[in-house]
């Protein structure tokens, strides 16, 4: 039976929220694997087989996420914000997107929400893990809180260009971010636009691309920026930020701003050293007050929800 490490807990939570791809856990190796990569005869059916190598991860549906938001709103002391969020919850229109945007307007509340959500989902994972242990005739384990996450500060986060791009993780998180930004758009259209986008921009491992990562004290990637450069004539270079993403449980700490600041510094240094004419462009996704605030603090000028400097 595998050990339930904190890094694996986070991977499982990420997979639970991924409604597009089904994941299984390999109990021999303690790793997640996409269901379509597992031989059909080894995939679990509706009944848990304690001797099976591959097991289902915990289920997580929209109703679970909605209930969690309701619970969190009940703990908000600010009556104005609490009423705004309660109104969103009963509106029935783009509830998840509007809830996230509204919470994002208050960084401290946003941080508390994502940590509240993470710890609640972590409890689900721990209960699932102990359920597996019981089925296999093993004793239940008491797993303490994630102390690193509880005590983590922005000063503990390292922002750097990695020696080797964690390509698979960046690709998975980029896809997650894309669907998160377009959660109110029909899936067939989001699928098409995502594939079309990948065909027209250099990948994260391209020589034209740069990935800047934000790393926790245990060297876990908690956020990243992926950008690429092209010449656009007239001696100008266009640097485009394709994606900016921070893992949900780490939001509200200023990591996104730190990543953008690092990108600005890279851009400024390149212009100074090469005396080049260059434009930095960032399409931040669906418009929101939190997005505009982040762009403004990063020194970007805006045109709708596209930012440049």
Tell me: do 40 and 176 sit in the same domain.
no
The answer to whether residues 19 and 37 belong to one domain is: yes
Same domain, 128 and 183: no
Question: 213: closest CA among 205, 225, 204?
Answer: 225
Three-state SS for 158? Answer: strand
Q: Are residues 259 and 279 in the same domain?
A: yes
- 138 and 259 housed in the same domain: no
**147 and 169, same domain (yes or no):** no
In a shared domain, residues 249 and 272 = yes
Q: At residue 170, does pLDDT exceed 60?
A: yes
Look at residue 43 and tell me whether its pLDDT is greater than 80.
yes
pLDDT at site 167: 93
Determine how many CB atoms are found less than 10 A away from the CB of residue 188.
Answer: 8
- Contact by Cβ (8 Å): 82, 73: yes
Alpha helices, H only, 104-184: 107-135, 147-151, 167-181
Q: Which residues pair with 211 in a beta bridge?
A: 226
Domains in the chain: how many in total? 2
What would the 3-class secondary structure string for 238-258 be? Answer: EEEEEEEEECHHHCCCCHHHH
Structural domain boundaries, residue 89: 1-151
Q: How far apart are CA 64 and CA 102, in angstroms?
A: 20
Which of these three, 93, 128, 151, is where a domain ends? 151
Q: Tell me how far CA of residue 24 lies from CA of 14, 39, 145, in angstroms.
A: 12, 12, 24
User: Which of 82, 89, 88 lies closest to 112, judged by CA?
Assistant: 82
Final residue in a domain of this structure, among 97, 116, 151:
151
Same domain, 141 and 176: no
Average pLDDT, the chain: 85
Distance, CA of 73 to CA of 76 (rounded, Å): 5
On whether both 134 and 260 belong to a single domain, the answer is: no
Question: 55 - beta bridge partners?
Answer: 25
**Count of residues for the chain?**
309
Q: Give yes or no: residues 169 and 184 share one domain.
A: yes
Residue 305 has pLDDT above 70, yes or no: no
The CATH number for 289's domain is 3.40.630.30
Query: CB of 102 within 8 A of CB of 69?
Result: no
In this prediction, residue 243 has a pLDDT band, given cuts at 50, 70 and 90, of very high
Tokens of 206: 């391209």
Residue after which a domain boundary falls, among 94, 125, 151: 151
Beta strands 209-215 and 301-303: pairing type?
Answer: unpaired
83-138, pLDDT tens digit by residue? Answer: 999 999 999 888 988 998 898 888 788 888 888 898 899 999 999 999 999 988 88
* C-alpha–C-alpha distance, residues 178 and 244, integer Å: 10
Residue 61 · residue 19 · CB < 8 Å = no
Q: 174 and 299: one domain? A: yes
Same domain for 203 and 78, yes or no, is no
pLDDT of 87 reads: 95
**Lowest-confidence range among 54-58, 72-76, 123-127, 252-256?**
252-256
């Amino acid at each position: 039976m595998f050990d339930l490490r904190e890094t694996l807990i986070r991977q499982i939570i990420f997979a639970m929220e991924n409604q597009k791809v089904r994941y299984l856990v390999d109990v021999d190796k303690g790793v997640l694997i996409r269901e379509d990569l597992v031989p059909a005869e080894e995939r679990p059916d509706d009944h848990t087989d304690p001797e099976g190598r591959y097991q289902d991860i915990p289920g997580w549906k929209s109703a679970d996420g909605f209930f969690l938001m309701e619970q969190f709103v009940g703990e908000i002391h600010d009556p104005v914000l609490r009423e705004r969020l309660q109104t969103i919850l009963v509106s029935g229109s783009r509830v998840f997107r509007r809830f996230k945007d509204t919470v994002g307007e208050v960084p401290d509340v946003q941080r508390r929400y994502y940590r509240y959500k993470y710890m609640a989902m972590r409890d689900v994972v721990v209960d699932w893990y102990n359920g597996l242990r019981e089925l296999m005739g093993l004793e239940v384990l008491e797993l303490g809180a994630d102390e690193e996450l509880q005590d983590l500060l922005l000063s503990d986060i390292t922002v750097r260009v990695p020696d080797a791009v964690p390509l698979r993780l960046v690709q998975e998180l980029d896809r997650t971010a894309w669907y998160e930004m377009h959660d109110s758009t029909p899936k067939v259209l989001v699928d098409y636009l995502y594939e079309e986008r990948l065909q027209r921009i250099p990948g994260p491992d391209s020589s034209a691309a740069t990935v800047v990562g934000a790393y926790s004290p245990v060297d876990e990637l908690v956020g990243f920026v992926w950008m690429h450069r092209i010449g656009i004539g007239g001696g100008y270079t266009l640097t485009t930020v394709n994606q900016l993403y921070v893992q949900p449980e780490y939001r509200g700490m200023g990591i996104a701003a730190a990543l953008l600041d690092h990108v600005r510094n890279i851009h400024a240094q390149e212009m100074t050293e090469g005396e080049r004419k260059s434009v930095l462009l960032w399409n931040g996704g669906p418009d929101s007050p939190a997005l505009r605030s982040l762009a403004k603090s990063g020194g970007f000028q805006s045109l709708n929800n596209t930012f440049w400097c």
